[in-house]
Amino acid sequence: MHMTDTTIIVRYFGLLAEHTGHGEERLQFPTGTTVQHVRGSLCEKHPALRYLKYRVAVDTALCTDDKVIDGCTELALLPPFAGG
């Protein structure tokens, strides 16, 4: 592990937890990694993610794909819920 790697907890909400088989996982990314890159690497690991609509929040704020995750601790993958 490089000294400046970011270790981040990825939390899957709703249907995403079922489709990835995880509620959360701890992952490491090199310095300068963007949310877009994280999404890409998660899709490789969990192909079902490619077909699902979700937003990403980093440390409780919704963000766009160009957000750099350096120094962040939590990344939440949030799909819309239908049920009521």
Partner 1 sequence: MGRYDRQITLEQVGLEGQARLQHAAVLVVGAGGLGCPALQYLVAAGVGRIGIMDGDTVALTNLHRQTLFNAGDVGRKKAIVAVERLSAQNPDPELLALPFHLSPANALDTISGYDLVLDCTDDIPTRYLVNDACVQADKPFIHGSIHRFEGQVSVFNHLNGPTYRCLFPDQPERDQVPSCAATGVLGVVPGTIGCLQATETLKVILGMEGILSGKLLIQDFISQTVRTISFQRDAVQVRVAMQRDISAEQDERRACATQEHDGITAEEVQQALDRNERWQFVDVRELHEQPHVDRLQGHRIPLHELAIRIGELDPALPTVVYCQSGVRSKLAVKLLREHGVAEAHSLEGGVLAWMAEVKELNT
Q: Which spans of this chain sit near partner 1 (rule: CB under 8 A)?
A: 13-15, 18-21, 46-48, 51-53, 55, 57, 60-62, 76, 78-84
For the bound state, the minimum distance from the C-beta of residue 32 to partner 1, rounded and expressed in Å, comes to 24
Q: Min. distance of Cβ 4 from partner 1 in angstroms?
A: 27
Shortest Å distance, C-beta 24 to partner 1: 10
3-class secondary structure, 78: strand
Give CA–CA dist 2/19, Å, rounded.
31
Which residues have a Cβ under 8 Å from the Cβ of 82 and sit 6 or more positions away?
Answer: none
